[in-house]
Structure formats: structure tokens, C-alpha cells
């Protein structure tokens, strides 16, 4: 099992998080340096747009800053929203950063899922979601960069499309075990290329503070903008059930309990775990130290 850590979001003003952006970026750099010293393969950066907390809107740029301060660790994006940038511009920027960093940068791409982020004054609507990733993949294949590409996927068709192009996949943190097994099987059956990789972004809370931060983050997100059929879950009366289900998939508890939970992913056919220990803008290096002492993680880092 290969393992990285994140997600760095650079939010400011969140309870328990940084009080301003200079502090957020300083803490993120310290987080990346600690992850590098502990032997994690990547540190992951996330992005969103039109987010009131200042959630990082330019993950490729933020990744460049981390690459400039680190020496060996990879930096990956989980994810860049393909529906808000021209495919040629995004592919060229990612390719150039990978070249400049001697291959340490890896792009993770997805279509996005908040209409607010895909609608611009130019008139892009929900339909932009459907073509965002296919259009980007066409441009990426034309450019033919050597760096691996991670494709965020939740549907079988998206998984098969990524596999047929020889790309890696990154599954969402709330993907349950049965779904992981199904999608991993679909991916391997359709994969064409030398290096298949099923990745999962998994929420991991090695202490009580991170568990509280995760619960607060998901409560705010689910009540504020999770929707079904165009209507908020909070308006349908489904927010509490969704919160309970999502938190039930977080790896938390004692070091041994977390280890057992993460080992389930390995048994289900996962090759790579991107462990999110940074929630609501908080990027605490001490949480990485605790994570590195989880038995399964320690064995993967040493292996």
C-alpha cells in the first residue's frame, strides 16, 4: 500500500483553524515538510470556488509553492475542478509544473459537483459538468505528459473511461466498502497500461481534535450545500442521516482501530490511500506524527 496525506485547503477563520491566510499557508508548508520527513509519498491539496472561507481556489499554484519548499515528497491535487478552466490551459500548467519539479507534481482532476462553481458570468451551466473531464482528457492525451494523472470518479462509466486511458483513479472518502470493491474490479478489468492504481481519499482522525473538526466540517457542508435532485438535503430532512453515514466511514479511534479500518481498504483492492487528517483549514503537523504511529501506516511507510 502506498500512502499520502492531506487535504490542504487553506481556509481561514474556521473554528479550530488558522485565523488568516498567511498563517494558513505557513501551517501548510510545515505540514508538507513534516510529511516529507516521515516518508509519506504525497501531500494532497484541494480546491473549491466561491467558498466563503477562502478555500484554496488554485490548487496547482498552491502545489507549486509547496514544491518550492520541499525536496523529495510528491504534491498532488485532490481535486482540480476541470469545469472552471479551459482544458488546454489546465493541462499545460500541470505538465509544466511536473517538468519543473522533476515529476514530483501529479494532477488529480474531477468534474466538480457544485453548480455554483460551474456557472460563470459567461453562461456555463450544469451541462459543463458532463463534458468537463472528457474534454480535459482529450487535451491531456494530445499533450502526452509523462506524469501520472489521477481521475476522481464515483460512477462506473467514469472509472472505465479512466482505466481505458491508462490513468489512475481516486475514489471519494464516503465510498463504502462494497462500492470500493465494485469500482476497483471495474477499473482492473478495463485498465490499459503499465501501472494500474486504485486510490481512495480516506478521512482519518488520529486524535479527538481532528475527529471533532471532521464532524464540524461535514455538518456544515451537508447542511449547507449537499443536495439531491436539485434540492438541499437539509430541506428534505435527510441531512442528519447523511451526516451519520459519512462519519461512520471515517477512520477514527485508537491506533489499532484505525489500523484495522485502513487495512480493510487494502483487502478491498485499494493500492493507494490519500489520508485526510486536515479538516476545515487546520494543517497540524502533530497529527501526522500520530498517524505515522498507526501500525498499518507505519508498516506501509517502512515497506
Span 22-45, mean pLDDT? 96
Comparison of pLDDT for 72 and 214, the residue scoring more: 72
The DSSP secondary structure of 34-81, one letter per residue, reads HHHHHT-SEEEE---SS-TT---S-HHHHHHHHHHH-SS-EEEES-EE
Predicted confidence band of residue 167 (pLDDT cuts 50, 70, 90): very high
Is 35 a residue whose pLDDT tops 50? Answer: yes
Please state the φ and ψ torsions of residue 284, each to the nearest 5 degrees.
-100, 120
Which tens digit of pLDDT belongs to each residue from 215-271? 988 888 888 777 777 677 878 888 888 889 888 889 999 999 999 999 999 999 999
CA distance 243 to 221: 9
CATH number, residue 183: 3.20.20.30
Q: What is the pTM of this model?
A: 0.93
pLDDT of residue 125: 58
Pairwise pLDDT comparison (157 vs 233), residue with the higher score: 157
Q: Average pLDDT in the 118-140 region?
A: 72
Supply the range of the domain harboring residue 47. 2-302
Reduced to 3 states (helix: H, G, I; strand: E, B; else coil), residue 8 is: strand
Point out the least confidently predicted range of 55-69, 121-135, 244-258: 121-135
Query: Considering its fold, how many domains does the chain have in total?
Result: 1
Q: Is the model's pLDDT at 129 over the cut of 70?
A: no
| Direct distance between the N- and C-terminal alpha carbons of the chain, in angstroms, rounded to an integer | 9
* Predicted pLDDT of residue 113: 65
Q: Which residue in 292, 110, 295, 66 sits closest to 201, CA to CA?
A: 110
In which band, very low, low, confident or very high, does the pLDDT at 34 lie, cut at 50, 70 and 90? very high
pLDDT of 123 > 50? The answer is no
Average pLDDT over residues 24-34: 95
Torsion of CA 127, 130, 132, 134, to 10 degrees: -150
The CA distances from residue 280 to 32, 49, 58, 234, 297, in Å, are 17, 15, 17, 20, 23
DSSP lists the bridge partners of residue 77 as 45
Write down the pLDDT at residue 110.
Answer: 92
pLDDT value at residue 60: 97
Q: Could you give the CA distance from residue 57 to residue 46 in angstroms, rounded to a whole number?
A: 8
Query: In terms of DSSP H, where are the helices of the chain?
Result: 21-38, 59-69, 87-100, 115-118, 127-143, 156-164, 177-190, 208-225, 233-236, 239-247, 255-267, 285-292, 295-302
Amino acid at each position: 500500500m502506498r500512502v499520502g496525506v492531506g487535504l490542504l485547503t487553506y481556509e481561514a477563520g474556521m473554528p479550530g483553524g488558522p485565523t488568516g491566510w498567511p498563517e494558513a499557508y505557513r501551517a501548510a508548508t510545515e505540514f508538507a515538510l513534516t510529511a516529507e520527513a516521515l516518508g509519506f509519498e504525497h501531500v494532497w491539496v484541494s480546491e473549491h470556488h466561491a467558498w466563503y472561507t477562502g478555500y484554496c481556489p488554485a490548487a496547482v499554484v498552491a502545489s507549486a509553492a509547496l514544491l518550492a519548499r520541499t525536496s523529495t515528497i510528491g504534491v498532488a491535487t485532490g481535486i482540480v475542478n476541470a469545469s472552471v478552466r479551459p482544458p488546454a490551459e489546465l493541462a499545460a500548467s500541470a505538465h509544466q509544473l511536473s517538468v519543473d519539479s522533476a515529476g514530483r507534481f501529479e494532477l488529480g482532476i474531477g468534474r466538480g459537483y457544485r453548480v455554483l462553481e460551474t456557472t460563470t458570468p459567461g453562461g456555463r451551466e450544469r451541462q459543463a459538468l458532463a463534458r468537463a473531464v472528457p474534454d480535459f482528457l482529450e487535451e491531456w492525451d494530445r499533450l502526452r505528459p509523462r506524469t501520472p494523472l489521477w481521475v476522481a470518479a464515483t460512477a462506473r462509466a467514469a472509472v472505465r473511461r479512466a482505466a481505458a486511458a491508462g490513468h489512475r483513479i481516486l475514489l471519494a472518502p464516503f465510498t463504502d466498502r462494497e462500492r470500493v470493491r465494485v469500482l476497483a474490479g471495474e477499473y482492473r478489468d478495463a485498465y490499459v497500461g503499465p501501472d494500474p492504481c486504485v486510490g481512495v481519499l480516506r478521512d482519518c482522525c488520529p486524535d479527538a481534535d481532528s475527529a471533532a473538526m471532521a464532524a464540524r466540517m461535514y455538518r456544515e457542508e451537508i447542511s449547507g450545500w449537499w443536495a439531491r435532485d436539485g434540492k438541499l438535503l437539509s430541506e428534505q430532512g435527510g441531512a442528519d442521516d447523511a451526516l451519520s453515514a459519512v462519519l461512520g466511514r471515517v477512520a477514527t479511534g485508537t491506533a489499532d482501530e484505525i489500523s484495522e479500518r485502513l487495512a480493510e481498504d487494502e483487502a478491498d483492492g485499494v493500492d493507494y490511500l490519500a489520508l485526510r487528517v486536515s479538516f476545515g483549514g487546520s494543517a497540524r503537523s502533530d497529527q501526522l506524527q500520530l498517524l505515522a504511529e498507526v501500525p498499518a501506516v507505519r508498516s506501509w511507510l517502512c515497506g
